[in-house]
Amino acid sequence: MSTQNKTHRRTILDIKKMKDTGEKITMLTAYDYSMSLLLDECDIDILLVGDSLGNVVLGYDTTLPVTMEDMLHHTKAVARGAQRALIVADMPFMSYQVSPQAALANAGRFLQEANAQAVKLEGGKEQSDAVYKITSSGIPVMAHLGLTPQSIHQIGGYKVQGKKEDAAEKMMDDARILEEAGAFSLVLECVPGKLAQDITQSISIPTIGIGAGIHCNGQVLVVNDMLGTYERMTPKFVKKYANLNQEIRKAVKNYISEVKNETFPDAEHSFK
Helix (H) or strand (E) holding 79, with range, is: helix 68-81
**Shorter beta-carbon distance to ligand KIV: residue 63 or 128:** 63
Give the C-alpha separation, 58 to 114, whole Å. 19
Name the active-site residue from 122, 189, 258, 262.
Answer: 189
Q: Is 20 helix (H, G, I), strand (E, B) or coil?
A: helix
Query: Which residue's Cβ has the minimum distance to ligand KIV?
Result: 50
> Is residue 50 part of the contact set for ligand KIV (CB under 6 A)?
yes
Q: Which residues contact 16 (CB under 8 A, 6 or more apart)?
A: 184, 185, 205, 206
Q: What is the CA radius of gyration of the chain?
A: 20
Query: 199 or 222: whose CB is closer to ligand KIV?
Result: 222
Integer Cα distance of 225 and 228 in angstroms:
5
**Nearest approach, Cβ of 147 to ligand KIV (angstroms)?**
9
Instruction: Provide the minimum distance between the beta carbon of 50 and ligand KIV in the complex, in angstroms, as a whole number.
Output: 2
Binding ligand KIV (rule: CB under 6 A), the pick from 91, 114, 210, 216 is: 210
Residue 199 Cβ, how far from ligand KIV at the closest point, in Å? 16
**How many residues bind to ligand KIV according to rule CB under 6 A?**
11
Residue span binding ligand KIV (CB under 6 A) among the ranges 44-52, 73-81, 238-246, 253-261: 44-52
- Based on the shown chain and the rule CB under 6 A, indicate whether residue 52 belongs to the binding site for ligand KIV: yes
Per-residue binding letters, 60-99, with ligand KIV (x by CB under 6 A): ------------------------------x---------
Is residue 262 part of the annotated active site? The answer reads: no
- Cβ–Cβ under 8 Å, residues 240 and 222: no
The conformational region for residue 218 under phi > 0 = left, psi -120 to 50 = alpha, else beta, is beta
Tell me if 29 contacts ligand KIV by CB under 6 A. yes
Q: What separation, in Å, do the N-terminal and C-terminal C-alpha atoms of the chain show?
A: 53
CB of 26 to ligand KIV, least distance (A): 13
CB atoms within 10 A of CB 213: 17
Return d(Cα 242, Cα 240) in angstroms, integer. Answer: 5
Judged by beta carbon, residue 225 or residue 256, the one nearer ligand KIV is: 225
Residue among 224, 226, 225, 206 at smallest CA distance from 216:
206
Q: Catalogue the active-site residues.
A: 189
- Which positions touch ligand KIV (CB under 6 A)? 29, 48, 50-52, 90, 187, 189, 210, 220, 222
